[in-house]
Chain A
């Protein structure tokens, strides 16, 4: 009876594990997949908008402008803030559509958003 129960628990755990794996992949891909609507809305960061950002976000965005695509870790070394703090600021900028986040291997990179309406 005990071994039967254990077996069932193990099976369930395996099931949960594989479901979690699928979820992780979905969440990771969600950042990459941009719907057509979001593409049109994609907002490039111009200098006047940069000026109107709150101080902490402006420093992060300016640094990203200066050094080009970078990880939160690289930004934090220049701004002398904690990596987690910069990561938070960068993600705020991503939500504001000013910065784009992408993955290369195991690292997460950020770059200033490009306008897709190329002229």
Chain B
């Protein structure tokens, strides 16, 4: 049974993408065939770290122009992972993003259907884990990803704005769609390595990752789980991976 994760947050800049990329590498390194899909269609980021080698973008798949397999680039060799690590990129061309903003709800409805079909297609391809990296807040693209997932990973930082919105998302979106959730406290300023809460808003807190400039500076061109598995951040990611597997 394929495990599908949506990495989401109520606000931007909480570290979704770096957690999504590191988690994907962690799963693939542990021998799980993994697919990471950039669904932050308005602010694509996967292409800044990896080079797409496929002819199609995830945007093309959502518009019904190709199959999801046509969008995949395998970086197993590059990342030296035990299992396959497929990436599906979102088109960073500004014309594509402008075009996306003008899409209506009919397009979004068919995009949700496409995403569900893509998930089924990938399960048949023997994928063990699918990770959706999403755009923050309540956007069609991100809620589509949440609806198509089994577990929602909420990347949270300790600001008041983020706190109140996270609670609303849990009660007004994730619970309504019957999703299992887990919170990651990222960039925490409490000088503490242990989890401060075990549960918040009725949802388990999977990890507390302290705020470290190094994660931000090195994370620009490195995937720490790959380059330095002994790093505190990498260890947190591995423990999050194990907790997610236990949730299933």
Contacts and interface: CB of A to CB of B under 8 A. Distances in A.
Interface in A31-76: 44-51, 55, 58-59, 62, 65-66, 68
The 9 closest A-B pairs by CB, nearest first: A44-B109, A115-B106, A46-B109, A46-B105, A47-B143, A46-B108, A47-B147, A44-B106, A47-B144
Given A46-B140, A65-B147, A68-B120, A51 B177 contact: yes
Nearest to B105: A46
A19 interface: no
Nearest to A63: B178
Sorting the interface of chain B by its residue count into under 10, 10 to 19, 20 to 34 or 35 or more gives 20 to 34
Interface in B118-171: 120, 140, 143-144, 146-147
B187 to A, nearest CB: 29
Contact of A44 (B110, B117, B140, B177): B110
Nearest to A116: B106
B140 A48 contact: yes
A93 interface: no
B178 A115 contact: no
Given A59-B178, A62-B177, A47 B108 contact: yes
Interface of B: 63-64, 103, 105-110, 112-113, 116-117, 120, 140, 143-144, 146-147, 172-173, 176-178
Contacts of A117: 106
A111 to B, nearest CB: 9
Contacts of A51: 143, 172-173, 176-177
B105 A48 contact: yes
B19 to A, nearest CB: 23
Contact of B116 (A59, A66, A118, A119): A66
A58 B173 CA distance: 12
Contact of B147 (A50, A55, A118): A50
Given A62-B147, A117-B106, A47 B112 contact: yes
A82 to B, nearest CB: 20
Interface of A: 44-51, 55, 58-59, 62, 65-66, 68, 112, 114-115, 117-119
A29 B114 CA distance: 29
Nearest to B117: A68
A118 B111 CA distance: 11
Contacts of A50: 147, 177
A117 B176 CA distance: 29
A62 B41 CA distance: 23
A47 B62 CA distance: 15
A65 B224 CA distance: 37
23 contacts: A44-B106, A45-B109, A46-B108, A46-B112, A47-B109, A47-B112, A47-B143, A47-B144, A47-B146, A47-B147, A48-B143, A50-B177, A51-B176, A55-B176, A58-B176, A58-B177, A65-B112, A112-B113, A114-B110, A114-B113, A115-B110, A119-B103, A119-B106
A81 to B, nearest CB: 14
A50 B116 CA distance: 14
A100 to B, nearest CB: 12
A115 B63 CA distance: 13
Contacts of B172: 51
A31 to B, nearest CB: 21
A119 B104 CA distance: 10
Given A46-B109, A50-B147, 4 more contacts: A65-B116, A114-B113, A117-B106, A119-B107
